[in-house]
Amino acid sequence: MTDEVGAGFAKPLIELTSEQQVRLDIYKSLLLRWQRKINLISNTTTAKIWERHFLDSLQLLAWSGAWLNWVDLGSGGGFPGMVVAIMAPDPRCTVHLIEVDKRKSAFLAEVSRETGAPVEIHVDRIERALPPLAKMVKFDAVSARALAPLSELVELSWPVLQKGACGLFLKGREAVFELTNLAAGSNLSIKLVPSATDPGAKIVVLRALKT
């Protein structure tokens, strides 16, 4: 079941507390420093970190609903998972970041230390890390950004989707094509939402249908 939210959808208003603003500023400084050593983001976006990376990640919170446990797949430079963690609405919240690259994982660990973001970092491949993790933690949301085709994302995240987690996947212009391929025969409720930060991009919001 697929539903496309029209282009007239009101963009989510992101209001930051002073503490969240400070944490994101720290994150930005660390990102720029580490970018000189390892490729965390495209060099063409370093001048637009707020719009291209922070706000792009923050918009998912308009669709996640209430959450305590979140898992982010292929976290890379921390988008969207680390940004979500910085915005955690409850001291009990935890965002699990799965990232196989050890250098990127080290970066994420430093951001967490410097900002106090409530994350747990799993240095492993998603297909190895997520199934056992899903048996121990009840996840409310699973996210990924520019990681893999939608069909592969659903397969990778199925251990948590089948237990009720909301899938939140940031996709580019290929989203409609990927969604067409996925929708046929899928047991999913799917919503396609225009990105608030990129006119050509989409957010795919999905849930497994109960059988």
- Indicate the domain borders of the chain: 2-208
Crossing angle of helices 150-161 and 126-136, rounded to 10°: 30
User: Is-above-0.95 flag for pTM?
Assistant: no
Give yes or no for a contact between 158 and 13, defined as CB atoms under 8 angstroms apart: no
Give yes or no for a contact between 78 and 27, defined as CB atoms under 8 angstroms apart: yes
Q: Using pLDDT thresholds of 50, 70 and 90, give the confidence band for residue 10.
A: very low
Residue carrying the six token digits 């990127």? 104
Interval 68-97: pLDDT, tens: 999 999 999 999 999 999 999 999 999 999
Contacts of 4 (CB under 8 A, 6+ apart): 191, 192
Homologous superfamily of the 2-208 domain (CATH)? Vaccinia Virus protein VP39 (3.40.50.150)
Interval 111-141: pLDDT, tens: 999 999 999 999 999 999 999 999 999 999 9
Size (the chain), residues:
211
* Residue 190 tokens, joined: 């799917």
